[in-house]
């Protein structure tokens, strides 16, 4: 299964008084990775919201903080699909300090929702096809 990678730089905004990246902010990096993976497949989320009336919402996260990321670090966020159902995608994601030190490891489950009712709906066919085409 193919792995998608996206570079992330640590700025002041991401750090806390402990001198390292604040624990909630790693989730921002993970989401930038998923957003860019989807854009790489050909889908902008703004457009999905407007044209298909769907949003992807996070339902579950498990994350291990192994090594702290520091101010000015050049990182890479990895995106892999661990499981795919009719309405959800479960990602395996890692954040690395270049070239190969794993800082955090996470499992993130997102669900495809109707943007008005916030009810699960089937992932659009063209997204499923793009996912299959890139595996």
User: Under the criterion CB under 8 A, does residue 117 sit at the interface with a second copy?
Assistant: no
Q: Residue 35: which residues within 8 A CB-CB, separation 6 or more?
A: 45
Q: What is the rounded CA–CA span in Å between residue 75 and residue 96?
A: 6
Of 46 and 132, nearer to a second copy (C-beta) is 46
| Beta strands at 74-84 and 54-65: parallel, antiparallel or unpaired | unpaired
18 is a site residue for a second copy (CB under 8 A): yes
- Interface residue with a second copy among 5, 72, 114, 129 (CB under 8 A) is 72
Among the residue ranges 14-22, 80-88, 93-101, 125-133, the one whose residues contact a second copy (CB under 8 A): 14-22
* Paired tokens of 4: 């998608």
Under the criterion CB under 8 A, does residue 134 sit at the interface with a second copy?
A: no
Nearest to 32 by CA among 82, 95, 77, 91: 77
Report which of 97, 133, 70 is spatially closest to residue 7, judged by C-alpha positions.
Answer: 97
Contact 67, 101 (CB under 8 A): yes
Total of residues contacting a second copy (CB under 8 A) = 40
Asked if 44 touches a second copy (CB under 8 A), the answer is yes
Q: Which is nearer to a second copy, 57 or 130 (CB)?
A: 57
Residues within the interface to a second copy (CB under 8 A): 9, 11-13, 15-20, 22-25, 27-28, 31-32, 35, 44-47, 49, 55, 57-65, 68, 70-72, 115, 118
Q: Which residues are catalytic?
A: 16
């Amino acid at each position: 299964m193919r792995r998608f990678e996206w570079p992330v730089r640590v700025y002041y905004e991401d750090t806390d008084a402990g001198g390292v990246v604040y624990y909630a902010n790693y989730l921002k990096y993970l989401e930038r990775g998923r957003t860019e993976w989807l854009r790489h497949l050909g889908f902008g989320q703004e457009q999905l919201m407007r044209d298909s009336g769907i949003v992807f919402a996070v339902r579950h996260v498990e994350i291990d903080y192994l090594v702290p990321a520091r101010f000015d670090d050049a990182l890479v966020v990895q995106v892999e699909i661990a499981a795919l159902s009719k309405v959800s995608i479960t990602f395996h994601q890692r954040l690395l300090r270049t070239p190969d030190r794993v800082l955090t490891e996470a499992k993130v489950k997102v669900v495809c929702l109707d943007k008005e009712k916030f009810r699960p709906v089937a992932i659009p066919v063209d997204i499923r096809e793009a996912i299959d085409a890139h595996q």
